Amino acid sequence: MAALGARRLFCHGRRWFSETTPDAPSPTPGPLYPPVVASVTAKSQAAKWRRLDRFKQRVHAAATVEEKLRLYGKLQRPKYMVYPQTFALNADRWYRSFTKTVFVPGMPPGAAAAKAPVAATGATPEAGRAPEPGAEAPGAANTPEPPVGAAPYPDMGHLRSLTCDALLQESFYQNKKRPFLYRDQDHTPGPFLTQLVSTLAAFLSGRNPLLAESSLDLKPEVNYYWHHGEEVVVHGHRKGRVDPVRFQIDDNPHLQIRVPKQLPEVVPLESDLGDVPVIDHQPSKLPLFKKQYENKVFIGSKVADPCCYGHTQFHLLPDRLKRERFIRERLEDQIEVVYRSNGIASLFAWTAAQAMYQGFWSEADVTRPFVSQAVVTDGKYFAFFCYQLNTLALTPETIKNNPRKNICWGTDSKPLYDVVEDGNVKGFNDEVLLQLVRFLLNRPKEF
Amino acid sequence: YPLFQRGGPQLRIFRPNFFMLAVRPGVPQPEDTVQFRVSMEMTKVDIRNYLERIYNVPVAAVRTRIQYGANNKRNHRNQRVKKPDYKVAYVQLGQGQTFQFPNLFPEKEQDTETRSFDDFRDKYMEKEKQKQEGDPRRGGVPDWFGL
């Protein structure tokens, strides 16, 4: 009996022992085997995606912005060189499709309403009267100004006299030889623009403290590199593979103002003001050509510079894009296209490079809009552009679920003056000067 | 003929010895672009003047390239046979005009007679083929095979 009982005890012993330790929340042991992921070196789609993911993780985890930019542009492949100042027909439509930009004619309504009182005070005196060189009495312009406060509106007469001084100095007073062949723009309009901008910026820095902290660059370099769309490689050892279409803009504006604080947004980030043109053809039909060289992203100064945001750019159109040449070849509608394509391409490159300097890129899209302004001129005709960058995600994977579009506001080109004769500037246009002053006075709310 | 100077009377007319052939583009071109095969000696200026003066076509831009004809084929004597080189011109039309190369061989609409004749002919051919093949129940075995 006892033996039987002992055997029964022994038979159930193992189960009994296993039930005596009833710790229900036993800690689950860690994974016994490493996670099953695709290979890194295989010749397969999964391996390719894994390599891409590893690259993106590397860029996300980069410690500094310089390291991020270095990794972003590390792989060099043939890319399309996009020139902002181009003679290609209907280039602005193509450039809008490359940069996912909506073009809105006219200036944004916020800028026009805020400075309406300036227009009222400036236009009532000398409306269209040709001023005398340098002998302008600012007293006549001061009387219509409101006596309240320390004259918050700028003195239009003084500004007009500054402009006419600069113009006459370059074209009338200074004795210059005839310009060399196709160097007309460097002869007169170039120095006039530099002089005008530096004097106006210096004068208006009293009203706009942002200009006092700004940095004025002469002939800076602005570069940006991005991917947009997909194509199949046609020739070479990589034939048949699907590649992203790479673009590079290398721009040299005539002048540039960089500021330490960003300009305020014009419209909210997710606003939709129009349609982006979709062009099915290859970019090489524009015509656009491919070359392989350094993938550079640059705003005009290096990353460590405190003035890392853009305020205004000034572009001077070269001689081969003169109005007379287009009129002679009966391509009048392409004149405005030249201004628009220059504005859109240059401003996209500048704002996108500013966003990259803050650490955003196509996988890490911008969280706040980047705004910049530009003035495109050929010495006499001025066109004004304002650009808001809402998205950097233009690569084939990131553009799929991205409803945001970049927006560019732009005006037609208007003449600043009609003709300069015998020390007089005839037909001065106040609106153009007003718009220029508005651009320079643009500043964030806290200032 | 007296020597011609600018402004003088034009007593001679020169007709160009060039010919331009409009071709269908191999790769899709934008709507305002027309592709031509032109003589090797023509320049962009020549092409523009040719189209504007003779055909009154507004030309906005002309781009040219020379296509090299390959020299790889061999004839019966193992000599290399060269395909001729030719110049291709891409002409962008002005004033917003567009051009689409037409379909030169559209499918003709068949009237009822030809359609019924085609049906009759197809059915007759089917019957002839079936007669040739033999009984399908024999599985392709010829009919002289057997007992």
The C-alpha atoms of residue A376 and residue A335 are separated, in whole angstroms, by: 12
Q: Taking a C-beta distance cutoff of 8 angstroms, is the pair A170, A199 a contact?
A: no
- Among A232, A328, A330, A338, the strongest candidate for a mutation testing the B interface, having the largest count of B CBs within 10 A, is A330
For residue A104, the surrounding DSSP H or E stretch is strand A101-105
Which of A137-141, A162-166, B55-59 shows the lowest mean pLDDT across its residues? A137-141
Chain-chain contact of A89 with B28 (C-beta, under 8 angstroms): no
Residue numbers in B near A334 (CB within 8 A): 60
ipTM of the complex as predicted:
0.80
Nearest CA in chain B to A286: B30
Instruction: Please provide the size of chain B in residues.
Output: 147
The C-alpha atoms of residue A371 and residue A259 are separated, in whole angstroms, by: 12
Residue numbers in B near A89 (CB within 8 A): 32, 60-61, 92
Phi then psi dihedrals of residue A10, to 5 deg: -65, -40
Residue numbers in A near B32 (CB within 8 A): 89
A287 touches chain B (CB under 8 A): yes
Residue A13, pLDDT above cutoff 60:
no
Q: Which of B28, B29, B92 sits opposite A89 (nearest CB)?
A: B92
A280 touches chain B (CB under 8 A): yes
Give the pairing of strands A255-259 and A309-316.
antiparallel
A119 touches chain B (CB under 8 A): no
Chain-chain contact of B94 with A331 (C-beta, under 8 angstroms): yes
Phi then psi dihedrals of residue B73, to 5 deg: -70, 150
Extents of the domains making up chain B? 20-93
Q: Which of B29, B58, B94 sits opposite A285 (nearest CB)?
A: B29
Burial of B115 (0-12, 13-18, 19+ CB in 10 A): exposed
Chain-chain contact of A280 with B33 (C-beta, under 8 angstroms): no
Residue A6, pLDDT above cutoff 80:
no
Q: Taking a C-beta distance cutoff of 8 angstroms, is the pair A424, A163 a contact?
A: no
The confidence score (pLDDT) of residue A26 equals 66
Look-up: residue for tokens 């099915």?
A280
- Structure confidence by residue, pLDDT tens digits, A229-241: 999 999 999 999 9
Chain-chain contact of A282 with B27 (C-beta, under 8 angstroms): yes
Instruction: Return the percentage of chain B with pLDDT > 90, whole number.
Output: 73
Distance from CA of A207 to the nearest CA of B (A): 47
Q: Taking a C-beta distance cutoff of 8 angstroms, is the pair A87, A318 a contact?
A: no
Nearest CA in chain A to B95: A331
Q: Is A121 helix (H, G, I), strand (E, B) or coil?
A: helix
- Structure confidence by residue, pLDDT tens digits, A92-119: 999 999 999 999 999 988 665 444 444 4
In what order do the strands lie in the sheet containing B86-93? B20-23, B33-38, B86-93, B59-67
Confidence class of residue B135 from pLDDT cuts 50, 70 and 90?
A: confident
Chain-chain contact of A280 with B60 (C-beta, under 8 angstroms): no
The confidence score (pLDDT) of residue A360 equals 95
Chain-chain contact of B94 with A282 (C-beta, under 8 angstroms): no
- Structure confidence by residue, pLDDT tens digits, A32-64: 898 899 999 999 999 999 999 999 999 999 999
Structure token digits, residue A377: 């001129």
Q: What angle do CA A307, A354, A244 make, to 5 degrees?
A: 160
The C-alpha atoms of residue A187 and residue A189 are separated, in whole angstroms, by: 7
Distance from CA of B28 to the nearest CA of A (A): 7
Q: Which CATH class is domain B20-93?
A: alpha beta
Chain-chain contact of B30 with A330 (C-beta, under 8 angstroms): no
The stretch A248-273 carries a mean pLDDT of 94
Look-up: residue for tokens 């194509």?
A231
Which letter, b or e, does each residue of A351-373 get, where b requires 16 or more Cβ atoms within 10 Å of its Cβ?
Answer: bbbbbbbbebbbbbbbeebbbbb
Task: Say which DSSP state A106 is in.
Answer: B
Residue numbers in A near B63 (CB within 8 A): 287
Look-up: residue for tokens 């004033």?
B95
Distance from CA of A83 to the nearest CA of B (A): 18
Nearest CA in chain A to B90: A285
Structure token digits, residue A172: 């009338």
Residue numbers in B near A285 (CB within 8 A): 29-30, 33
Chain-chain contact of B60 with A285 (C-beta, under 8 angstroms): no
Q: Taking a C-beta distance cutoff of 8 angstroms, is the pair A414, A233 a contact?
A: no
Chain-chain contact of A331 with B32 (C-beta, under 8 angstroms): no
Residue A410: count other Cβ atoms within 10 Å of its Cβ: 25
Chain-chain contact of B33 with A89 (C-beta, under 8 angstroms): no
For residue A203, the surrounding DSSP H or E stretch is helix A189-204
The stretch A165-172 carries a mean pLDDT of 90
Stronger pLDDT, B14 or A194, i.e. the higher one: A194
The confidence score (pLDDT) of residue B130 equals 86
Chain center to CA of B103: 10
Residue B73: count other Cβ atoms within 10 Å of its Cβ: 10
Chain-chain contact of A330 with B58 (C-beta, under 8 angstroms): yes
| Distance separating the N- and C-terminal Cα atoms of chain B | 101
| Distance separating the N- and C-terminal Cα atoms of chain A | 100
Residue numbers in A near B30 (CB within 8 A): 279, 281, 285
Q: Taking a C-beta distance cutoff of 8 angstroms, is the pair B129, B62 a contact?
A: no
Q: Taking a C-beta distance cutoff of 8 angstroms, is the pair A272, A226 a contact?
A: no
Distance from CA of A387 to the nearest CA of B (A): 28
Q: Taking a C-beta distance cutoff of 8 angstroms, is the pair B75, B69 a contact?
A: no
Q: Share the mean pLDDT of chain A.
A: 85
Which of A26-40, B18-32, B47-61 shows the lowest mean pLDDT across its residues? A26-40
Tell me the Ramachandran region of residue A342: left when phi exceeds 0, alpha when psi lies from -120 to 50, beta otherwise. alpha
Structure token digits, residue A232: 């199949």
The stretch A389-403 carries a mean pLDDT of 94
Instruction: Return the percentage of chain A with pLDDT > 90, whole number.
Output: 72
Chain-chain contact of A89 with B27 (C-beta, under 8 angstroms): no
The C-alpha atoms of residue A37 and residue A343 are separated, in whole angstroms, by: 47
Structure token digits, residue A136: 């302008």
